[in-house]
Amino acid sequence: MDSLRRLLAENPRVLEMRYREREVVCEPASPPFAVRLDGVGFGSRLRDFPHPRSRLVHNALVEVARALAQTYGADFVHVVSDEINLFFHRLPPYGGRTFKIISVLAGHASAEATALLGRPLYFDGRVVKLRDLCDAATYFLFRARVGLNNYAVQIARGMGLLRERTPPIGEVVAKIKIDDYELAWGAFLEKERGYRKEVDVCNALSSLCNVC
């Protein structure tokens, strides 16, 4: 599968260092940038849902992400695990005021997720500066690869295949069966496509940059 091969080609440790140093702490943030929203304590708050990831929770977070994207005009969105990333390329919400963007979008996501899943849920937020559309595509590859890594390792551990050392992710993926790739690496939504859900990584990112 092209999407799986493309994700496995990335080194998440290198990308983690690249994008962590670009988390915005100053005002204002000028586009392009991504707003990353992470669920706080979702593992314990949603422990009664299927492990390692729940289709019901994922679908709810896709709806949360779609509502945020439509409200604030995000150009591109990615949802994986308990994480929502919204990409702003043209017009930033609130004039790029970083702390307002983080607080309002995290609060909005928390309220939407709480309403949909029927229990108190919270998100934290950060703004990540991006250089251009190709950099944005690489950033989304990075987040999808992290999602895949975590999902595959949790499945392998649940099957008793991993002990003390975690082998390269390609070896882990080869030993397990992934029935739902959308849960593994997430879903993508794009403004120009009416925020319709796309699961194939290469197809989704082709509108940003030819990274596959």
Distance from C-alpha of 105 to C-alpha of 69, rounded to nearest angstrom: 10
Count the Cβ atoms, other than its own, within 10 Å of residue 26.
9
In a domain, 146, yes or no: no
The strand ranges marked E within 42-94 are 76-80, 83-88
In a domain, 7, yes or no: no
Q: Report the candidate in 119, 118, 98 with the shortest Cα–Cα distance to residue 33.
A: 98
In a domain, 44, yes or no: yes
In a domain, 142, yes or no: no
Instruction: Tally the domains of the chain.
Output: 1
Q: Which domain holds residue 102?
A: 20-132+187-205
Q: Report the candidate in 28, 38, 129 with the shortest Cα–Cα distance to residue 87.
A: 129
Q: Which phi and psi (to 5°) does residue 92 adopt?
A: -80, 145
Count the Cβ atoms, other than its own, within 10 Å of residue 44.
7
pLDDT, tens digit only, all 212 positions of the chain: 689 999 999 899 999 999 998 887 777 889 999 999 999 999 999 999 999 999 999 999 999 999 999 999 999 999 999 999 999 998 899 999 999 999 999 999 999 999 999 999 999 999 999 999 999 999 999 999 999 999 999 999 888 888 777 788 888 888 899 999 999 999 999 999 999 999 999 999 999 999 99
In a domain, 212, yes or no: no
Half-sphere exposure of 211 (CA within 13 A, CB side): 26
Q: What is the CATH number of the domain that holds 112?
A: 3.30.70.3000
User: And the tokens for 22?
Assistant: 């670009």
In a domain, 4, yes or no: no
- In this prediction, residue 155 carries a pLDDT of 93
- In this prediction, residue 135 carries a pLDDT of 97
Count the Cβ atoms, other than its own, within 10 Å of residue 70.
14
In a domain, 91, yes or no: yes
Evaluate whether 8 touches 173 at the Cβ level (below 8 Å).
yes
Distance from C-alpha of 62 to C-alpha of 53, rounded to nearest angstrom: 14
In a domain, 47, yes or no: yes
- In this prediction, residue 167 carries a pLDDT of 83
